[in-house]
Amino acid sequence: RAAVPGNVETLWCARDVAEFLNVSQATLSRWRREKVGPPFLRVGGISRYNPSSVRAWVKANEQAHG
C-alpha cells in the first residue's frame, strides 16, 4: 500500500472490513444497502472505510451481557 502522510490511516476496502469483522463481503454489502453497518464513503464509486470509524462502530455496538 502507498504511504499516507501524517497520522492518516489508509482507507480499508470491503474485503479488509469483512476480514476485520469476520463477516462475508456479501453481508457487508447488505449492511450498506440496509444502512446498518459501519460508516463508509464512496471513492470513485467504490466503497471505502475509515479504519478508526469501523473500530468506533464496533465499540458503539458492543452489547453488555450479564
Please state the domain count of the chain. 1
**21 in a domain, yes or no?**
yes
Quote helix, strand, coil % in the chain, to nearest 5.
40, 10, 45
Interval 25-64: pLDDT, tens: 999 999 999 999 999 999 999 999 999 999 999 999 998 7
Which tops the pLDDT comparison, 57 or 4? 57
Say yes or no to pLDDT of 3 above 80.
no
Rounded to two decimals, the pTM is 0.82
* Contact of 52 with 40, CB cutoff 8 Å: no
**66 in a domain, yes or no?**
no
The amino acid at residue 47 is: S
Domain that holds residue 43: 14-60
What is d(CA 53, CA 39) in angstroms, rounded to the nearest whole number? 7
**6 in a domain, yes or no?**
no
- Which three cell numbers, joined as nine digits, stand for 59? 465499540
